[in-house]
Chains A and B, each alone.
Chain A
Amino acid sequence: MKVLIVEDETDLCDVIKSFLEGEKYIVETASDYASGLAKLANYDYDCVLLDIMLPGGTGMQLLTEVRALGKDDSVIIVSAKDSVEDKVEGLELGADDYLAKPFHLAELLARIKTIIRRKNHHGEQAIQFKDVKLFPEERKVLIGTEEVQLNRKEYDLLYYFMIRPEKLVTKTSLAEAVWGDDADQSDNLDFIYSQIKNLRRKLKNHQAEIDFQAVYGVGYKLV
């Protein structure tokens, strides 16, 4: 899987790059409009992370150019503005998703996986870890061959772990990814604990091979 990051902040670019490389992606970077356009015109990428403010042009212009060239690379617009107008404009120009800075790396990964999956939808692609299979299109979870009934939030929670098994997922990332802005609660750490407890109970009931492992009260790992 090849990902292009078009971002003028080299620090941010490096962080994302090393994170995605850790997730086994091939990552290329471009730091301005011209080099971004050159790379996009000459190569195909599975996913492009596009910053809006670039030296030499805007991400929107770049997106328009790329679409004019007949390329249909999946594009996630990454912007610091978080303005509704930008979001709407970006999506109208053919971007696949919009992510406001700052974001959690785990969230970025979830978005990338979703759009890559959507793009290569040759049949249902299940995400599998041990005996648990998760079908993102149908929002269905199988343990072995048995379907587990999860509510919306429980499913989102599990999905978030399933895309990065055996990696630490912090409570704050979880809360924001699953409950969004509503997660801004004073007792949100205990809250996550109780949600994980519910999910864990359901998994236990179905004798799943996976379990959540608490990591020093900071977060959890799916093992």
Chain B
Amino acid sequence: MQVSLKNYTLRYLSIAFLIIITIWAALFYAFILEEVYDNVDDGLKNQKILILREVYEDPNLLEINAYGINQFRITPVGDGDDFSEENYLDNEFFYMPYDDEMEPYRVLRTGFYAPDQKPYHLEIRTSTVEEDDLILNLTTALVVLYLVLVLGVYLINELVLRRAWRPFRIILENLNLYRFGKKDYLKPVSTNIVEFNQLNEEINQMWRRNEEVFDEQKRFIENAAHELQTPLAITINKLELLMEDESLSESQLTQLADSKSSLRRLVNLNKALLMLSKIENKQYKDVRQINLNQLVKEISEDFQDFLSFKDITLQVAEYGFFDISMNKDLALVLISNLFRNAIRYNIKGGIISITIGQNHLSVANTGNQAPLNQEKIFNRFHKGTQDSQSNGLGLAIVKSIVDTYAELSIDYRFEENMHIFSLKK
């Protein structure tokens, strides 16, 4: 799952806060209790000294054998009782009428010999902290602290980071909007954050470098085409001139014609490759609103002769208007290539069925009774059958035109003995 940077940090900060606060709370609690018991125990020990002193002066005190207003009791040691003059400290619960419930007390147990040399138990108690209340209060306070911290971090993220990351978002948006050779409409990035300035600068430099390389490439392709086309033109034209010679025999003339038509194929291949590279370099920039219904009509007229030659029935079903903004030449090439494909691989007396809807256009044709390889059909130089006249680039050109426009997609399927290419918006 993808999360925004600020939420990403928030998630880890919340967890970290939770762990830190929990550990801190445990330590804090332990220290506090330690300190409280230390204090209470010191008080109890002090009281013991005071009580023993009093007992020596006033033996009547030995009669106090229940906790009353004095928070101590003295009981004679019975037979078999353990006796020790050591101090034993313990937590116990006693009923407290004020709260009407059992409350925690700290109790000091010890033993002593009274002036009459008899051993007595002495128990001194004092009310101490209610640990569960303490834990509850502490927890409440800490939960509030935790929430405030997380909320605080969240708000800081929202306000401060949103501000701080604004240039970054502009850079992202620019990257998304960037089209080759068009930088005018990109928002300027002005920030005093070093990293973002650096990023922006690097991206701009990368663009510049790419555009330079692209321009070089473009010049190279154009020049290469020029260099190729000229010798081709010379060869073809010389062959044509030669073919005018009336004294040529049939076999000579046929061979010349064959050489010429091979050269034409080379020319077409060259053109197709040039076209592919131009499409991929996004050199068809001029975009306008195109109605594909209209275009299909125009193109089907151009192909009329080929359709009737192969005795192909063309059915066009329109369920809506397929409008799209794209380059006119590319739209023309796109539809013509689909048409040409549907005719070339059709059978004599076959059918081409074109369906146009608001968001889709499909071209279905009869032909070979086996589905084509869906994976490879749009690859360059992929030839399904051994077809010497095809350059294997027609569908590759279709694919690269479709890829030029993010909203378009094309796929192939074989249904009810029809090869179907469907273009979707």
Contact = CB atoms under 8 A, between A and B. Distances in A.
A32 B234 CA distance: 18
A205 to B, nearest CB: 19
Contacts of A16: 237
B232 interface: yes
26 contacts: A12-B237, A15-B234, A19-B240, A22-B244, A80-B230, A81-B222, A81-B226, A84-B329, A100-B229, A101-B230, A101-B233, A102-B236, A104-B236, A104-B237, A106-B240, A153-B305, A171-B257, A179-B305, A182-B336, A184-B389, A185-B343, A186-B344, A186-B389, A191-B305, A218-B254, A219-B257
A137 interface: no
A190 B348 CA distance: 13
A179 B343 CA distance: 15
A216 B305 contact: no
B302 A53 contact: no
A176 B253 CA distance: 19
Contact of A82 (B234, B237, B271, B310): B271
Contacts of B406: none
Contact of B254 (A83, A179, A216): A216
Contacts, number: 112
A12 B240 contact: no
Interface string B365-401: 0000000000000000000000111100000000000
B225 interface: yes
Contacts of A103: 233, 237
Given A101-B230, A167-B244, 5 more contacts: A19-B241, A82-B225, A100-B229, A106-B240, A153-B305
Given A80-B225, A185-B306, A194-B309, A170 B234 contact: no
Interface string A63-85: 00000000000000000111110
Closest 10 CB pairs of A and B: A102-B233, A186-B389, A80-B229, A80-B226, A218-B257, A216-B250, A15-B237, A101-B233, A101-B229, A11-B234
Contacts of B234: 9, 11-12, 15
A12 B233 contact: yes
A27 interface: no
Interface residues of B, number: 42
Contact of A102 (B232, B329, B343, B387): B232
Contacts of B230: 9, 12, 80, 101-102
B162 interface: no
Nearest to B252: A216
B253 A83 contact: no
Interface of B: 222, 225-226, 229-230, 232-234, 236-238, 240-241, 243-244, 250, 253-254, 256-257, 260-261, 264, 267-268, 271, 274, 302-303, 305-306, 309-310, 329, 336, 340, 343-344, 387-390
A103 B232 CA distance: 9
A57 interface: no
Interface string A83-98: 1100000000000000
A168 interface: yes
Interface string A1-45: 000000001011001101100100000000000000000000000
Contacts of A149: none
A105 B309 contact: no
Nearest to B389: A186
